[in-house]
């Protein structure tokens, strides 16, 4: 694998275990992308040792979602547990964006730049949350985490269409719905700094879901597939989580979901 290839470097960065080192390397990759120092090489077929993907630290321990401990928000430890859960999501999101860059060949060059931008912004979010966690007297790895986001990444590794449908447009889009009530909880607990971080995350995540929508639409056009029917088929085929209200319809519309898709979303949930 040549080291002047952006996709090769994205794969190498994905395998890094240290979160800070990973964030620094993502920032360096983004700068190299902006200056044209690295070639994208969309046609290059890459392979990797699955045992090294994704690179992550020994902690947090990964447990079933239902076993992740919940703590009262009126305590510093409870707020830290919530911030940790969000930081864990963002760390996984760095990995999923890097995986989207290296894994799928023969996409337009704009696709790879889009997903590298996502990785850069997810690294920023993780760093903000980790710094806040440290200010509360904790650090990333002090609480358990779950692996449901990465499990969907693994399920969809054979088809970029399924990846675009079920990771940004499904798993990440759930964050658009969940962020406003989480912000209110943090404000009620008096954590203004954390609430401000969530404002940044929501702003950027709208763009990330929009990127997923853009490339899902591109692939459906290319394969002459219907957006809504294809999404529903893939959701069932890959056993993706059922979409449940309440929805942040304003954010979803900003992220590029069409009126037809939003109407389908409401219909799906009333069925």
pLDDT band at 243 (very low <50, low <70, confident <90, very high): confident
How far apart are the C-alpha atoms of 243 and 266, rounded to whole Å? 9
- Would you list the domain boundaries of the chain? 6-270
pLDDT at 268 over 80: no
Q: Would you give the DSSP letter of residue 39?
A: B
Q: What is the pTM for the complete model shown?
A: 0.95
The Cβ of residue 39 has, within 10 Å, a number of other Cβ atoms equal to 14
Rounded CA gap, 113 and 104, in Å? Answer: 13
pLDDT at 178: 94
Residue 62, strand partner residues: 145
Beta bridge partners of 5: 39
Query: DSSP secondary-structure letter at 245?
Result: S
Closest listed residue to residue 260, CA positions, set 232, 233, 241 = 232
The listed CATH number (2.60.40, 1.20.1260, 1.20.1070, 3.40.1000) that belongs to domain 6-270: 1.20.1260
Mean pLDDT of 191-214: 97
**Average pLDDT for residues 68-80, to the nearest whole number?**
83
Residues with Cβ within 8 Å of 76's Cβ and at least 6 positions away in sequence, in order, are: 136, 137
Q: Let me know if 204 is exposed, middle or buried by CB neighbors in 10 A (0-12, 13-18, 19+).
A: middle
Please answer whether residues 62 and 23 qualify as being in contact, where contact means their C-beta atoms are separated by less than 8 angstroms. Answer: no
Average pLDDT value for residue range 202-210 = 98
Grade residue 74 by pLDDT with cuts at 50, 70 and 90.
confident
Which range (25-29, 46-50, 202-206) has the least confidence? 46-50
User: Cα–Cα distance between 238 and 236 in angstroms, integer?
Assistant: 6
In the structure, what pLDDT confidence band is assigned to residue 1 with cuts at 50, 70 and 90?
Answer: very low
Q: What is the pLDDT of residues 93-150, one digit of tens each?
A: 999 999 999 999 999 999 999 999 999 999 999 999 999 999 999 999 999 999 888 9
């Amino acid at each position: 694998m040549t080291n002047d290839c952006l996709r090769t470097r994205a794969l190498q960065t994905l395998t890094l275990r240290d979160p800070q080192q990973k964030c620094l390397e993502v920032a360096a990759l983004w700068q190299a992308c902006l200056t044209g120092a690295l070639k994208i090489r969309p046609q290059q077929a890459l392979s990797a040792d699955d045992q090294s993907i994704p690179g992550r630290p020994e902690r947090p321990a990964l447990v079933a979602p239902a076993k992740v401990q919940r703590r009262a928000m009126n305590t510093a430890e409870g707020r830290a547990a919530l911030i940790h859960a969000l930081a864990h999501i963002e760390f996984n999101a760095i990995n999923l964006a890097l995986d989207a860059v290296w894994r799928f060949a023969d996409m337009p060059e704009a696709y790879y730049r889009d997903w590298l931008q996502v990785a850069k912004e997810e690294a920023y979010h993780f760093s903000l949350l980790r710094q806040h966690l440290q200010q509360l007297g904790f650090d990333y790895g002090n609480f358990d985490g779950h692996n449901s986001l990465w499990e969907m990444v693994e399920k969809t590794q054979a088809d970029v269409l399924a990846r675009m449908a079920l990771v940004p447009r499904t798993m990440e889009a759930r964050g658009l719905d969940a962020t406003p009530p989480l912000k209110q909880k943090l404000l009620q607990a008096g954590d203004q700094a954390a609430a401000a971080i969530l404002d940044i995350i929501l702003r950027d995540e709208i763009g990330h879901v929009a990127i997923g929508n853009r490339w899902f639409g591109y692939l459906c056009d290319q394969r002459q597939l219907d957006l809504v029917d294809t999404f529903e088929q893939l959701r069932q085929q890959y056993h993706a989580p059922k979409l449940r209200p309440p929805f942040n319809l304003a954010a979803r519309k900003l992220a590029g979901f069409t009126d037809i898709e939003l109407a389908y979303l409401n219909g799906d949930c009333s069925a």
